[in-house]
Amino acid sequence: MKRILITGAGSYIGTSFADYLQKWPERYQTDTVDMIGDGWESKSFRGHDTVFHVAGIAHADSGRISQARAKLYYDVNTRLTIRTAMKAKREGVRQFIFMSSAIVYGDSAPIGRQKRITRNTPVSPANCYGDSKVRAERGLQKLEDERFRVVILRPPMIYGPGSKGNYPLLAKLAQKLPAFPYVDNCRSMLYIGNLTEFVRLMIEHDERGIFWPQNAEYSNTSRLVQMIAAAHGKRILLVPGCTLPLRIMGLAVGKVNKAFGNLTYDQALSHYREEYRITGLKESVRLTERAGSRKQ
């Protein structure tokens, strides 16, 4: 049996992963530790095969941020991550899985421009949030040796039942608006069910290295809104001719480019020896919206 310690109580990804592994109670045992405060330091990591580190401060800012907020990013996303890994290594944990992000490559390309990330694309964080992730990655890599294997995951936008971020906003718009602007953009995304299967495989195969999991299909923001509306039995009209106005708006409002800009991983980056993309895009939207409807 594999014993997994999830660092970050109540986190969306950590909770989703623990719930997913309940399918195999004879193969996996999960424990969770709250990383707020210093109490976690007194908890023993011994006897665990893997630490899945999901504790962190999410990027929810736009524009300039305060020095206090910047410090929090580095304290939690960088220093806490490295301290946790050092404790895991010291107490005999064999594998450490870190949730990094596509944000290490900077922001999305603005509307009308492409951004395709390949294996040779260098990290280029655009803000202190991204930089805090890059510094955490580098600190973890220095700790790695044959007895301590480090997995770094750089997923794109994660969505699914109960997720936060851009997807719930698009879902609200899809259910309220009769029409939505059509923009020819392309984005990588990752359904939570595909992510949890990928993490399971990382543990099952005792992996190490940097990985870029994503859905097998790219997403278009406008078509995604249309899919969400369809999941609720609603039709939404996609209006062409909005690219230029949105491009101009994006110069002043960063969230416009975040929604309609371009950011994709080359699909070759995301292939793995076993198939983890167990749910396609259309089905993932249906499952996400069905779960949301049950909660309403």
What domains appear along the chain, each with residue ranges and CATH number? 2-223+249-295 (3.40.50.720)
Encode burial over 105-141: b for 16+ CB neighbours within 10 A, e otherwise: bbbbbbbbeebebeeeeebebebbbbbbbbbbbebbe
CA distances from 250 to 75, 111, 126, 253 (A): 31, 8, 16, 5
Cβ atoms of residues 239 and 182 within 8 Å: yes
CA distances from 5 to 56, 142, 157, 241 (A): 16, 22, 24, 50
Q: Pairing between strand 50-53 and 95-99?
A: parallel
pLDDT digit string (tens) for the chain, length 296 residues: 999 999 999 999 999 999 999 999 999 999 999 999 999 999 999 999 999 999 988 765 555 678 888 888 999 999 999 999 999 999 999 999 999 999 999 999 988 899 999 999 999 998 999 999 999 999 999 999 999 999 999 999 999 999 988 899 999 999 999 999 999 999 999 999 999 999 999 999 999 999 999 999 999 999 999 999 999 999 999 999 888 888 878 776 777 878 899 999 999 999 999 999 999 999 999 999 998 655 54
Q: Locate 99 and state its tokens.
A: 């949730």
Whole-angstrom distance between the N-terminal and C-terminal Cα of the chain? 38
Cβ atoms of residues 67 and 21 within 8 Å: no
pTM: 0.94
